[in-house]
Amino acid sequence: MADIVFAAAVSHAPGLTGWFDKADEESQRNVREAYATVGSDIRDANLDLLVIIANDHLANFPVTDYPDFVFGMIDEHSGPDTWFKPWLAVEDYSMPGRPDLAEAVYGHLQGAGANVVRWDEPLRFDDNISVPVTLTGFKDMGVAVLPVIQNCTVPPVPDERASYKLGEQLGEALRALPDGLRIGVLGSGGLSHEPGGKRYLAIDGDFDRWFLDLLAEGDHDKVLREATFERMEEAGIGGTAELLSWLVAMGSIGERPCEVLTYAEVPEWRCGVGAVRWTV
Amino acid sequence: MAIENFNRELATHDFVQQMKWNVELRQRFEQDPGAVLDQFELLPQERTAIEERDFKALYDIGVHPYLLSQLARLLYGTVEGAGSSEASLALVRSLLGEDAPS
């Protein structure tokens, strides 16, 4: 039996790398330190595999045929996608995959009831993967990654309960990996934002603080009752629900103490930015 | 509340995604936008809205908002290091009707 020895969730946004310095100095410092803490935790966890659950911003599939959860199965994961390079302004990166472990996890999830798809070609990564692996320094650690790309924005979206349930099944699959393997789980997405909508340049700080406080309470049933897909959409259509990726991470570990590492409400970043970690 | 009036069948989605995925197509679009638009089975109102940069019209007929933000970048360009780029401001002005002819 393998062990999940690290779990955290962080926001991503192009502004966090592309125009980080547009924020006030305190927000820059707090966010920089939070991502560094997550990076330090990952390094200290001595992982064999990090599963990153991140939403897909319509970067990989046509809207006419949009899968819910896509597992990247190949032996090397590179980014960022060419189109996003001028926007993100991050160095190119390449991270090892573990096709053997990806195969085992994917196989375990067959029959789970969710729309889970394997992808044996390179996935296009935008800020969803590029921002967290850059700001945490993970891209240079040489640790294998299993990207799980989630639909959080093309209707119909797997809602909070479907996401949490998939997380529970993912947790079972990860713990079923060979004895001694050390596994990490990182959710990437949110907080409030409305990409391409009328509130594109706005952030719902009240929602963000409420959500982070709710997670810190640690009652997952309450999270699922209150932090619904609809509530997320009220705080930013088509963007805030990226927090569903955090719920997948929560499902994979069950109720554990949760610590809020930071929150920053910076309009120039066009997205509420937060980070949490769980004691596992 | 969710994305309103989403119509996955609109060819604008395919146009924006193909433009993102294909550098050559982007280069051809810069030289001859009409020829590239001809390649996609756009409804007349989609094509007109793209040509007139009328994001609100596209939103109202069901284009996914995230791809509207990408279309804005395609049409207005990506200004590196900009927190409030011309593309995003133009998009929001259009959605709020602030650029409607008086």
Tell me the domains of chain A and their CATH numbers: 3-278 (3.40.830.10)
pLDDT reported for residue B101: 46
Chain B contact set for A24 (CB, 8 A):
none
Chain A contact set for B3 (CB, 8 A):
153, 155, 237-238
Residue B95 has pLDDT above 90, yes or no: no
**Closest chain A residue to B15, measured at CA:** A62
Tokens of B13: 């989605």
Secondary structure (3-state) at A70: strand
pLDDT reported for residue B102: 39
pLDDT reported for residue B98: 76
In this complex, is the C-beta atom of B17 within 8 Å of any C-beta atom belonging to chain A?
yes
Looking only at the bridges linking them, the beta strands covering A258-264 and A273-278 are antiparallel
Dump pLDDT digits (tens) for A107-160: 999 987 889 999 999 999 999 999 999 999 999 999 999 999 999 999 999 999
pLDDT reported for residue A17: 95
Chain B contact set for A198 (CB, 8 A):
92, 95-96
Please indicate whether, in this complex, the C-beta atoms of B67 and A86 are within 8 angstroms of each other.
Answer: no
DSSP A13: -
Q: Among B1, B17, B66, select the one facing A62 at the smallest CB separation.
A: B17
The residues that bridge with A150 in the sheet, in sequence order, are A55, A69
Residue A258 has pLDDT above 50, yes or no: yes
In this complex, is the C-beta atom of A121 within 8 Å of any C-beta atom belonging to chain B?
no
Residue B85 has pLDDT above 90, yes or no: no
Chain pair A-B, CB pairs under 8 angstroms: 97
Displacement of CA B78 from its chain's centroid (Å): 14
Average pLDDT over residues A49-74: 96
Nearest C-alpha neighbor of A16 from the set A186, A135, A190, A193? A135
Strands in chain A per DSSP E = 3-10, 49-55, 69-72, 76-79, 93-96, 116-119, 144-150, 182-188, 258-264, 273-278
Portion of chain A with pLDDT greater than 70, in percent: 100
Average pLDDT over residues A257-262: 97
Dump pLDDT digits (tens) for A170-228: 999 999 999 999 999 999 999 999 988 888 888 999 999 999 999 999 999 999 999 99
Residue A94's contacts (CB-CB under 8 Å, 6 or more residues apart) are: A76, A77, A78, A139
Q: Which CATH code fits B11-95?
A: 1.10.700.10
Secondary structure (3-state) at B80: coil
Query: Cα separation of A254 and A252, whole Å?
Result: 6
